Amino acid sequence: MSVLSGKKIILGVSGGIAAYKSATLVRLLIKSGAHVQVIMTPASLSFVTPLTLSTLSKNPVHSSFYSDDEMSQWNNHVDMALWADLMIIAPATANTLSKMANGNCDNLLIATYLSAKCPVYFAPAMDLDMYKHPSTLSSFSQLKHFGNIMIPAEKGELASGLVGEGRMAEPEHIVAFLEADLKSKMPLRGKKILITAGPTYETIDPVRFIGNHSSGKMGYDLAIAASKMGAEVVLISGPTHLTVNDSSIELIRVVTAHEMYVQCHKHFIDVDVMIAAAAVADYRPRVVADQKIKKNDEFFSIELEKTKDILFSLGQIKENKYLIGFALETENEVENAKLKIQKKNLDLIVLNSLQDEGAGFGKPTNKVTFIDNNFVVSPMDLKSKEEVAIDILNKVIAHYA
C-alpha cells in the first residue's frame, strides 16, 4: 500500500505545455489510493480540459472563484486548502511560481496556495533559459524559504526544441518523489515492530476448541498505524476475519498458543519493538481427542496444562528492545499490571479493565491506562481503537526520541 493511500491531495495545474502530463499524474495518484481535487489556472484550460481531469479524479475541477453555471456558487479556497493533506503544483510555470513567491493572488489556485497549511510541493516546467533566469531562481529560493518542496525539473527535449533542464518531472517520478519524501519524515521510519493480535484456539477434539472473544482489532489497528508511521511490521495473528493489504506488513496467521510462541521467537531477534496485543490462551487440553467427544455423561472434565508464556520468555532475552504488553483485568487492575511489568520485564503495559464501559473484547472503542516500568500511571479517555493505537505508538516514538 502506498503512503499516499487515503491522502487528500490538491493538484494545481498551471498554463504550460506540460499540463498534458497532469492527466497521467491524476491517474497515478488515484491508483495510489489518494483523493484528488484539481484546481486549474485560467491559462491551463488551453492545454488540458477540465472534463478529462474531472473524470480521472472523480471530482469537479475548479478554475475560478465562482462556478461557471451559477455565479452565486462560490468555490471556497479556504475550505479546499484546509481539506488537503498536501498540495502539488504541477506543472508550475515561471508565472505561477512568481505569483506564489510574491503573493500575487489573482486566481483560485494562488488563493488556495496562500491559504494552505499542508506541505506544498511544486514541479517547475519551462524552457531552459527561463529556468535559469535570475527571477526564476529567486522564486525557487523564496519558495524553499517558505518551506515549500521543489520536485526538480528533468533534462530533456523542451517544447522550444532546445535540450536541457526545465522539463517537468515525469508523473511516475513525481509520485515516487512524494512517496520517498513522505516516508523520510515518518516518525517510525527504520524501525521494525512485531505485533501479535487476536485470540488463540486450543483444540479439544476435531470440532471443539478453547478460545476467547478477542476480535484482533486492536492488534490490526496497531499494525496499520505503525505502517503509516513508516515502520516495517510483522503481524502474527490468531484466528480472525480481519486482514491487511499493505506491503509494509508481513501477516503471519497462526491458530494455537504454541504456534504463536514459535513465530514470535523466530521474528523477535530482528525487531526493535514488540507489542503483544494478542489474547493468548493460558491453558490448553493436555490430551487432544482424535475423534469427536460424544455427549454421554452429565458432567465432563478436561485436564488442562499451561501454555508457554510468550511475553515472559521474550522479556528474558529482550536486551535493548522495547517491549509492550497488554493486561485485561477485572479486579486490582493497577496492582496486577505492575506485577506483570516486573515479572515479564516489560517497558510498558497497556491496562484494560472490563469494569470500564466501552472497553474490552469485540468493541470498536477502548479505555486504557498506560503504566511504564517506573510505575508511572497514565489513565486515558475512552477512544476508538484506531486512536488508542496511535497513543501506544506515540509511546514508542517518545522512547526513541
Residue with cell 496467521: 253
Q: Is 107 a catalytic residue?
A: no
Give the CA radius of gyration of the chain: 28
Q: What percentage of the chain's residues is helix, strand, coil (to nearest 5)?
A: 35, 25, 40
Residue with cell 522495547: 322
Phi, psi of 338 (to 5 degrees): -65, -40
What residues pair up with 235 in beta bridges, in sequence order? Answer: 195, 251
Task: Identify the CA nearest to 192 among candidates 269, 265, 277, 276.
Answer: 269
DSSP one-letter code for 18: G
- Spatial separation of the C-alpha atoms in residues 160 and 128, rounded to whole Å: 9
CA 235 to chain centre: 15
Phi, psi of 368 (to 5 degrees): -120, 165
- Spatial separation of the C-alpha atoms in residues 195 and 216, rounded to whole Å: 11
- Spatial separation of the C-alpha atoms in residues 337 and 78, rounded to whole Å: 48
Mind spelling out the 3-state secondary structure of 220-256?
A: HHHHHHHHHCCCEEEEEECCCCCCCCCCCEEEEECCC
- Spatial separation of the C-alpha atoms in residues 238 and 241, rounded to whole Å: 10
Exposed, middle or buried, 85 (CB in 10 Å: 0-12/13-18/19+)? middle
Number of residues in the chain: 401
Q: 166 near 153, Cβ under 8 Å?
A: yes
Task: Identify the CA nearest to 198 among candidates 212, 208, 185.
Answer: 212
**164 is written with which cell numbers?**
536541457
Q: In the chain, what is the straight-line distance between the N-terminal and C-terminal CA atoms, in Å?
A: 27
Q: Which of 212, 336, 345, 373 is catalytic?
A: 212
DSSP one-letter code for 160: T
Catalytic residues, which ones? 212
